[in-house]
Structure 1
Amino acid sequence: MNLHDPGLPANAQKLRTGLDRVWHAAGYSLAGLRAGWEEPAFRQEAVASIVLLPAAFWIGRGWVEVGLLAGSVLLVMIVELLNTGIETAIDRIGPEWNHLSKRAKDMGSAAVLLSLLLCAGLWLAALAARL
């Protein structure tokens, strides 16, 4: 197979199938986590998750509560990675100020804020129920 054939997709990942595709996708995902680790906000959330994820099993009164508590922590990290991806793509376009670039970055930041509020609300409700 000639990867330089103009009839083939530009992304070689599209040509992979089965376990080969899964293996390479896992590698890309790990590279994304390593890139996320370079961002201070993601590092802070990851460190907080080291405490919060085990605490979810102690605070939660059943598998649904544990899932909601743990899921809310993971959701914050997911949204942070997506926000970082948006910011990185916008920054690649160019350093000049643009109202659409600002809007995209602001919406990504708002998504992080909403995920943090959801997480905090769930954790506060679970803690209040235990008192």
Structure 2
Amino acid sequence: MTKPAVTKETGFRHFIAAASYSWAGFLRVLKEAAFRQELGFFFVSLVALALVGASAGEIVIAVLLFLGLFSMEAMNTAVEEVIDRISPEISIVGKHAKDLGSFAVTCMIAACCLYLGFVLGKHLFFG
């Protein structure tokens, strides 16, 4: 017995379907405490950048870095969910996958912090 073919949306309907999947992903990652903390860090950072008089270009770079952080957090959450689903018992491969996802998020947090430190320091001490 064969499965019925999945119909793929095309054109504008594809765009709408993709947007709904992205929204569902956002709602899912919003349930993660780490993501909510990163979102808070993002808004505090934007306020700090505005208060020190950061340029529009500096703010855009910060936004891009945070979007990278958010996407990395979403991917890390996806890895964790897949590992928990296919390997509910403790496995070294699952541990490695989760650790690597966590490391990727940590790298993005470090990138955000280094950039913010540079821009804030520049405006506070050398501006």
The TM tier, using the shorter chain, reads 0.7 to 0.9
> What is the distance in 1 between the residues matched to 2:49 and 2:5?
47
CA RMSD after TM alignment: 1.9
Query: 1:28: which partner in 2?
Result: 21
Deviation at residue 66 of structure 1 after TM alignment: 2.0
Structure 1 gaps, min length 5: none
Deviation at residue 27 of structure 1 after TM alignment: 0.6
Is the 1:60–1:69 contact (alpha carbons within 8 Å) kept by the matching residues of 2?
no
Is the 1:49–1:73 contact (alpha carbons within 8 Å) kept by the matching residues of 2?
yes
Of structures 1 and 2, the one with the larger relative CO (CA 8 A, separation 6+) is: 2
In the superposition, the TM-score normalised over structure 1's length comes to 0.83
> What is the distance in 2 between the residues matched to 1:119 and 1:49?
9
Q: Secondary structure at the match of 2:72?
A: helix
Deviation at residue 96 of structure 1 after TM alignment: 0.6
Letter of the 2:5 partner, please give it.
Answer: L
Structure 1 residues 70 and 56 mapped into 2: Cα distance closer, same or farther (>3 Å)?
farther
Between the two proteins, the alignment pairs up a number of residues equal to 122
Deviation at residue 47 of structure 1 after TM alignment: 2.1
Pairing partner for 1:115 from 108, 114, 118: 108
Deviation at residue 55 of structure 1 after TM alignment: 4.2
In the superposition, the TM-score normalised over structure 2's length comes to 0.85
Percent sequence identity is: 32
Structure 2 gaps, min length 5: none
Is the 1:53–1:73 contact (alpha carbons within 8 Å) kept by the matching residues of 2?
no
Query: 1:60: which partner in 2?
Result: 54
